[in-house]
């Protein structure tokens, strides 16, 4: 019996889409086609590959009116925010812009006696396993540079956003990318693991949970397949004593609540200097109380349902445990909170690091706020986490921010902003957040391998 992947819409619990998974033989065939197509794709001029990727990105933009409500139905993001094409285009276009320089040979010597250089070669077949929370932007982080560098790509999307990979590949193929060069695949976990264990891929990029990352490493054990892993997060914000509390509250609460808190680098815990604490909390509570929870297809909705009831139940449990342990919940239940996927956004005070809501990933619309005595106190709390993706500092003093930043165990340090991915900078993390790095020049380096040339000229 063929297994089926089913996307349940968080809007009303209905079945939005279903697709059959590939059998083992069908999956092997897809890999074989990708491998057979790779050499010819890599042999094309770099400028041609760049042009085709740009055309694929543009074709996605032409579909945006269909994509935005489709995303809302699959994972709940309100249509008022216009989908992900802005970030999708920014990231893909930046990687296209820097491709020639990023992939250029490093010439050590070019003389009458020697020619010594380092070139970059594509790995071969790249598997991209993309998450549901930002399914377009997270995928393009790897898809664009992998294709431009000369790899063929197989894209496996999360079941919650089942149609994204299908639509993305269709757009790129319609733009001229050969069908075997960029393929969407519907795979179950066992087939995915078996393919990785069989060394079907030359690079695997996975964005998802820590448990999923462990499954990737276990499947790849002994194959020496390089992995790029972006896993969990519990990103902190710190409001210093010289910060503007109004600006800090606006920025940090948006970063905590946007997309119903389902952001890889969303803010999940906030530390505020004690001199600003009461002011900051009052402003944060006022902001959250103005949010409109509801059907994401309605233009007035500012916060939609979580992607599934299961995710919302986890957040509810964390909140209830914290309150039972002495925390204060500041937001009364919204009328639209149905006990299912529609969840009231929440601010907690009186929290401690003994509570799960301040230690474990919530990935939902809740944030705990704690007062701190000074920078040293804040740094200790920010580093008291198994994760390390981003940290956001609010201060007008960039020198002070840099000094604090150097002491933080994290992949990115923000000042006066949060929850943003700059494609010119390396997107990376530490500790249980993962390994590797995407975007920027470093993203190209991770999607290629170096090859050295050492030529002695003249008579031997």
Domain ranges of the chain: 4-231+433-455, 235-422
SS3 206: strand
DSSP conformation letters of 398-416: HHHHHHHHTT--SSEEEES
Among candidate residues 70, 84, 230, 268, the one labeled active-site is 230
Does the active-site annotation cover 264?
yes
The model carries a pTM of: 0.97
Determine the pLDDT at residue 1: 54
Query: Under CATH, domain 4-231+433-455 is a member of which superfamily?
Result: Aldehyde Dehydrogenase; Chain A, domain 1 (3.40.605.10)
Determine the pLDDT at residue 458: 85
DSSP conformation letters of 230-247: E----EEEEE-TTS-HHH
Among candidate residues 264, 265, 268, 361, the one labeled active-site is 264
Question: How do residues 241-299 score in pLDDT, each as one tens digit?
Answer: 999 999 999 999 999 999 999 999 999 999 999 999 999 999 999 999 999 999 999 99
How many residues would you count in the chain? 460
Determine the pLDDT at residue 460: 62
Does the active-site annotation cover 230?
yes
Q: How many Cα neighbours within 13 Å face the side chain of 223?
A: 21
Question: Do 240 and 273 form a contact (C-beta atoms < 8 A)?
Answer: yes
d(CA 360, CA 385): 8
Architecture of domain 235-422: 3-Layer(aba) Sandwich (3.40)
Question: Do 240 and 214 form a contact (C-beta atoms < 8 A)?
Answer: no
**Mean pLDDT of successive 10-residue stretches along the chain, which has 460 residues:** 90 98 98 98 98 98 98 98 97 98 97 97 98 98 98 98 98 98 97 98 97 96 97 97 98 98 97 98 98 98 98 98 98 98 98 98 98 98 98 98 98 97 97 95 98 90
Question: Do 73 and 9 form a contact (C-beta atoms < 8 A)?
Answer: yes
Alpha-carbon radius of gyration of the chain: 23
Q: Find the helix or strand (DSSP H, E) in which 434 lies.
A: strand 434-435
């Amino acid at each position: 019996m063929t297994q089926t992947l089913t996307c349940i819409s968080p809007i009303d619990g209905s079945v939005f889409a279903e697709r059959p998974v590939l059998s083992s033989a069908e999956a092997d065939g897809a890999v074989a086609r990708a491998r057979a197509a790779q050499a010819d794709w890599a042999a094309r001029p770099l400028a041609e590959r760049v042009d085709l990727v740009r055309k694929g990105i543009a074709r996605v933009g032409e579909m945006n009116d269909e994509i935005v409500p489709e995303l809302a139905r699959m994972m709940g993001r309100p249509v008022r925010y216009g989908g992900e094409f802005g970030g999708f285009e920014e990231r893909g276009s930046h990687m296209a812009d820097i491709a020639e320089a990023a992939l250029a040979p490093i010439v050590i010597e070019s003389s009458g006696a020697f020619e010594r250089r380092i070139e970059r070669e594509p790995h071969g077949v790249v598997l991209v396993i993309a998450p549901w929370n930002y399914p377009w932007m997270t995928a393009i982080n790897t898809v664009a540079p992998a294709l431009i560098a000369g790899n063929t790509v197989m894209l496996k999307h999360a079941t919650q956003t089942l149609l994204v990979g299908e639509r993305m590949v269709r757009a790129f193929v319609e733009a001229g990318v050969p069908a075997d060069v960029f393929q969407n695949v519907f795979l179950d976990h066992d087939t995915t693991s078996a393919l990785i264990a069989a060394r079907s891929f030359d690079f695997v990029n996975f964005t998802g949970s820590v448990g999923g990352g462990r499954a990737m490493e276990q499947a790849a054990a002994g194959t020496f397949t390089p992995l790029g892993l972006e896993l969990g997060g519990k990103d902190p914000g710190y409001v210093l004593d010289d910060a503007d509390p109004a600006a800090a509250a606006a920025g940090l609460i948006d970063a905590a609540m946007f997309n119903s808190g389902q952001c890889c680098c969303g803010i999940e815990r906030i530390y505020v200097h004690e001199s600003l604490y009461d002011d900051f909390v009052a402003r944060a509570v006022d902001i959250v109380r103005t949010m409109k929870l509801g059907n994401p297809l309605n233009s007035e909705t500012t916060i939609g349902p979580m992607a599934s009831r299961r995710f919302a139940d986890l957040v509810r449990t964390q909140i209830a445990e914290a309150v039972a342990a002495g925390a204060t919940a500041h937001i009364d239940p919204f009328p639209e909170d149905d006990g299912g996927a529609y969840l009231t956004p929440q601010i907690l005070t009186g929290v401690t690091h003994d509570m799960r809501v301040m230690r474990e990933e919530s990935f939902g619309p809740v944030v705990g706020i704690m007062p701190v005595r000074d920078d040293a106190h804040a740094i200790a709390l920010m580093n008291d986490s198994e994760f390390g993706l981003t940290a956001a500092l609010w201060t007008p003093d960039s020198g002070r921010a840099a000094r604090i930043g150097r002491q933080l165990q994290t992949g990115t340090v923000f000042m006066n902003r949060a929850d943003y991915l700059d494609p010119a900078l390396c997107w990376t993390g530490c500790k249980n957040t993962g390994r590797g790095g995407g975007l920027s020049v470093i993203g190209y380096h991770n999607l290629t391998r170096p090859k050295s040339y050492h030529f002695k000229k003249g008579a031997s």
